[in-house]
Amino acid sequence: MVSGISTSFIVHNACLSRGHPETVLKDRRVRVPTVHEYMELIFLGTGGSWPTPQRNVSAFAIKRGSELLLFDCGEGTQRQFQRSNVSYMAISNIFLTHLHGDHILGLPGLLQTMNLNDREAPLTIHGPPGTKRYVSLIFTNPLPRPGFEVNVKEITDEHVTPFDGYRIVARQLDHTVTSFGYALIEDPRPGRFDKAKALDLGVPEGPLFGKLQKGQPVELDDGTTIDPQQVLGSPRRGRKIAYTGDCRPSEATVELAHNADVLIHEATFSDEHEDANRYGHSTASQAAFIAKKAHARTLYLTHISPRYANASPLEEEARTVFENAHIANDLDTLVVKFPPDEPATGDFAKTAQDAATAQ
């Protein structure tokens, strides 16, 4: 407990963040994570350093089913939410990459507005060392104390936060201060249901099909038990979204982005700016090189310097290295579909709970 802060406000460090428990089906059942068909990425702020008429500063959201995650919260983020198709009241978790102003100065206003709108649901804020102190200062008088529970969890490199059906993995990247990138990795999806095989085994169409697809064994009228493994194919990989925040190129970034369906990478400058790396940033072509080396499917460039009123040259620069590169603009949205039926191997074969237990 922090002195002077109400009991509704809880701040602590954590070795393991607690998400929602994974569904574990016992006996002859198989593990079936919560699979949400719908995933949308919302680019709330795509500029760096300070807001411009074209771009607000860093903020990025992922909507997965009914859950909404926010990554970074630059100045004016709450207003960007009001211009978007999602509500800031739906945010369950906020992940801060680092404690530079253009990534965190929107947090006080956002929390105050949540409070003024009678938020009751708890909120968890994840971030680097120093996040605990920063959030504590937000609620120091004369700012109002929240009427809802706020938990702060300071993270370390390779920290895993498990949730129902996915996990958030943090990697410490190379910037001028301690800074983390994050990857959302979904649990393996069940294999495809083989209807013909189920019928051959005597399973009638109807509710028993649904039970098998959910990983539950079923018993036929003649007493025969059909296990889900008999009618489900091999587990399929889920989706992966990687977000870097601010960083210079590094192997840690490549590892974070490995096989990502979408990589959101900072591209503060063009190659003409020779001091990009000295200031802890990447150029557009360097971001593209990371995407190519990591075998990412799609690259979105963000954290664009205010010097670029027209960012199309950055996109062109990136596409000379990685063809599927795009400039992210404020309030752009992207629906991420499931990848083709690829087997769940490597990191994609792990569940959120397995990965958290192994750390």
**What local confidence, expressed as pLDDT, does residue 23 receive?**
33
| The domain boundary residue, chosen from 182, 209, 230 | 230
Q: Look-up: residue for tokens 């649901």? A: 121
| The domain boundary residue, chosen from 230, 251, 281 | 230
Q: Which of 179-183, 223-227, 262-266, 322-326 shows the lowest per-residue confidence on average (mean pLDDT)?
A: 223-227
**What local confidence, expressed as pLDDT, does residue 18 receive?**
31
Same-domain status, 344 and 258? yes
Same-domain status, 200 and 309? no
- Give the Cα separation of 204 and 44 in Å (integer): 48
Q: Who's near 63: CB < 8 A, 6+ residues apart? A: 38, 39, 40, 41, 42, 69, 86
Position 223 in a domain: yes
**What local confidence, expressed as pLDDT, does residue 29 receive?**
53
User: Which phi and psi (to 5°) does residue 298 adopt?
Assistant: -140, 145
**What local confidence, expressed as pLDDT, does residue 293 receive?**
98
Same-domain status, 314 and 203? no
Position 29 in a domain: no
Q: How far apart are the first and last CA of the chain?
A: 27
Same-domain status, 120 and 134? yes
Structure letter (DSSP) for residue 269 = B
Cβ atoms 241, 336 nearer than 8 A = yes
Position 347 in a domain: yes
The CATH number of residue 76's host domain is 3.60.15.10
**What local confidence, expressed as pLDDT, does residue 349 receive?**
86
Same-domain status, 272 and 331? yes
Token code pair at residue 337: 């579909």
Q: Look-up: residue for tokens 């008088």? A: 141
- Give the Cα separation of 183 and 168 in Å (integer): 6
Is the pLDDT score of 43 beyond 60?
yes
Give the pLDDT band of residue 124 (cuts 50, 70, 90): very high
As a dihedral over the C-alpha atoms of residue 340, residue 333, residue 267, residue 90, rounded to 10 degrees, the angle is -100
**What local confidence, expressed as pLDDT, does residue 341 receive?**
82
Give the pLDDT band of residue 344 (cuts 50, 70, 90): confident
E strands present in 257-319: 262-266, 298-302
The residue that leads in pLDDT, 227 or 358, is 227
Same-domain status, 55 and 201? no
Q: Who's near 209: CB < 8 A, 6+ residues apart? A: 193, 195, 198, 203
Is the pLDDT score of 2 beyond 70?
no
293 to 35, 287, 289: CA distances (angstroms) = 29, 10, 6
Position 210 in a domain: yes
- Give the Cα separation of 332 and 299 in Å (integer): 14
Structural domains counted in the chain:
2
Position 31 in a domain: no
* Span 289-325, pLDDT tens digits: 999 999 999 999 999 999 999 999 999 999 999 999 9
Give the pLDDT band of residue 181 (cuts 50, 70, 90): very high
Token code pair at residue 203: 């399973």
Same-domain status, 80 and 140? yes
Q: Look-up: residue for tokens 């198989």? A: 30
| The domain boundary residue, chosen from 230, 256, 280 | 230
* H-assigned helices in the chain: 77-83, 101-104, 107-116, 131-138, 195-200, 207-213, 251-257, 284-294, 312-319, 352-358
**What local confidence, expressed as pLDDT, does residue 358 receive?**
76
Token code pair at residue 336: 């991420």
- Per-position b or e across 265-274, b if 16+ CB within 10 A of its CB: bbbbbbeeee
- Give the Cα separation of 108 and 142 in Å (integer): 12
Same-domain status, 199 and 269? no
Same-domain status, 282 and 220? no
As a dihedral over the C-alpha atoms of residue 183, residue 13, residue 152, residue 51, rounded to 10 degrees, the angle is -60
What's the chain's average pLDDT? 89
Q: Burial level of 343, CB count in 10 A (0-12/13-18/19+)? A: middle
Q: Burial level of 44, CB count in 10 A (0-12/13-18/19+)? A: buried
Active-site pick, 102, 246, 261, 330: 102
Q: Average pLDDT of 241-262?
A: 97
Residue type, 319: R
Give the pLDDT band of residue 67 (cuts 50, 70, 90): very high
- Give the Cβ contact number of residue 226 at 10 Å: 20
Same-domain status, 59 and 200? no
Same-domain status, 290 and 313? yes
Q: Average pLDDT of 54-70?
A: 97
Q: Who's near 82: CB < 8 A, 6+ residues apart? A: 88
301 to 201, 260, 288, 309, 313: CA distances (angstroms) = 51, 14, 9, 15, 12
Give the pLDDT band of residue 10 (cuts 50, 70, 90): very low
Position 298 in a domain: yes
Give the pLDDT band of residue 232 (cuts 50, 70, 90): very high
Is 102 part of the annotated catalytic residue set?
A: yes
Regarding pTM above 0.75, the answer is yes
Domain that holds residue 213: 195-230
Same-domain status, 226 and 97? no
Position 351 in a domain: yes
Most confident region among 129-133, 138-142, 279-283 by mean pLDDT: 129-133
Position 132 in a domain: yes
Q: Who's near 116: CB < 8 A, 6+ residues apart? A: none
**What local confidence, expressed as pLDDT, does residue 14 receive?**
34
